Amino acid sequence: MSSVQEVNPTVRGIRAPTSLQSLAARIREEIKQGAQKPFRHVIDVSSGDPHRAGMAPISFVRQVLAVCFYPNLLKDEGLPLDVRQRAQQLLGVCTGGSVGSYSSACCGIPYVLKSVAEFIMRRDGGMSSHPEDIIFSNGSQKGLMMILHLMASGEGETQTGVLIPMPCPHTLPVLLDDNGLTLVPYQLMEDRGWAVDLDELRRALKAARGRCEPRAIYISNPGNPTGHVQDRKTIEEVIRFAATEGLVLLADEMYQDSVHGQEKEFISYNKVLFDMGNEYSEAVELISFHSLSSAMMGECGLRGGYMEVINMDPAVKKHLKSMQCPLSPAVIPQLALEVMVNPPTPGDPSYGTYYQEILHSQTTLSANTQRACEFLNDLPGMNCQPAMGGVFLYPCLHLPPQMIDKAKMLGVEPDVLYCQKLLEEEGVCLGPGCENGQEDPNYHIRLCVLAPPATLEEILARLRSFHLRLLDKFP
């Protein structure tokens, strides 16, 4: 990617995980056709998709959506009363009472916009949130793409630059490149649990000026793929930095429901911004993102997300909303978002089941994270920082020099070769760290740990077998 190399030639990245996904698909087809493999099936934990990894969906969400799709179920007394009532309520705000009709408002269903704003106010302890500041999109990445497209301008020294953490979500470098923006990398501090460092932000910004025009900073909290959870002090530092340097603050808070580290809690950028007083709350342009791909919902395939825009120029916000026209947001993701931000409460017929399912996911994630982190740190040639939130672990690989040389001879990144061989020999699909922008010689792998415990154990056993064979082959 030319724009990435322009600012930092050492940043590595590959276009997309298509080669590994294609290989996984080919192996699945070979197994289906009767080919003999040392494993019976492929396990893909390269993405933050808990349903793909085997986690069950939340019953209340699926039940409500099922009734919305097939309203005859409103008469089915086998379904909980609150499920039918919620579905009837949601159908009532759909044009024609049907999920098959276009949304009447180009920016989204007003009732759902109001529900999202109310969720934000509850989450942030009463801080004001307004439906007109909420914009729906087909997933958080689509929302981010809209923002990046809007910000893109200039060429060379005048091209818009965005400060991006390294490592970053694996879809982000391609998204910037596709929209003609320059990626300005700032390194997260691995030895401090992947913390954001203010001096590193200043260094990255100084290095970028004169090569591009930095206009925004992207933050992932909890970190994707690092699992780092920012404390209030760090968030305040980032907000002051953005204010001083005149940067738009892009806060990806998709995994806000999955903080599991001891004495850690999720605090939104929105809440901290308004707690800092008018000097910042009325000046800093903040855009925060959330989506159905959150850890507990895991409804990645529904492609539903929203962004809240704070202190955006009204004319710019109007233009941003007009980018959705003449198409309105898809109806089903909006209804699923309403269920996500407005779940059953104590006393509701579905609350007991909902609470137990959420608790199961949370305890599974917490236990799996600790189990996998300890396991990976026990493997020779590997070390892993503990994750405090999110669904990934991101261990560092200390690869034998012979394997690095072989990878270079084959024209692939060493961590890609590692993942390819693991997939071919053990049927486990992980993400190579180069997708997340990691630099030589810090090779990493990415794995989603929100999976059934038995599946995780199988993944770890296959990984151990492969890794130890590799070290025997390249001592």
Domain positions in the chain = 2-55+355-473, 101-341
pLDDT score, position 15: 42
Straight-line distance from the first to the last Cα atom of the chain, in angstroms, rounded to the nearest whole number:
34
Give the three-state DSSP class for 417: helix
pLDDT at 322: 79
> From residue 212, how far is each of 98, 148, 209, 216, 430 by CA, in Å?
48, 15, 6, 12, 34
| CATH topology identical between 2-55+355-473 and 101-341 | no
3-state secondary structure of 448: strand
For the stretch 392-443, pLDDT in tens is: 999 999 999 999 999 999 999 999 999 999 999 999 999 999 998 877 678 9
pLDDT at 181: 96
pLDDT for the residue 119: 97
Say how far apart CA 176 and CA 141 lie, in whole Å: 11
pLDDT, residue 204, reads 97
Architecture of domain 2-55+355-473: Alpha-Beta Complex (3.90)
pLDDT at 326: 60
Sign of the C-alpha dihedral computed for residues 365, 370, 371 and 376 taken in this order = positive
| Res 5: pLDDT | 36
- Nearest Cα to 194, choosing from 436, 385, 377? 385
As beta bridge partners, residue 289 has 252, 307
Tell the burial category of 356 from Cβ atoms under 10 Å away from its Cβ (0-12, 13-18, 19+): exposed
For 101-341, the fitting CATH number among 3.40.50.300, 3.20.20.80, 3.40.640.10, 3.30.479.30 is: 3.40.640.10
Ranges in the chain, pLDDT < 50: 1-17
Q: Report phi then psi at 397, rounded to 5.
A: -100, 130
pLDDT per position as a tens digit, 57-95: 999 999 999 999 999 999 999 999 999 999 999 999 999
Give dist(CA 304, CA 330) in Å, integer. 8
User: Which residue blocks in 59-105 are alpha helix, DSSP H?
Assistant: 59-69, 81-92
Spatial CA neighbour of 330 closest among 117, 61, 110, 108: 108
Q: What confidence score (pLDDT) does residue 149 get? A: 92
pLDDT at 442: 82
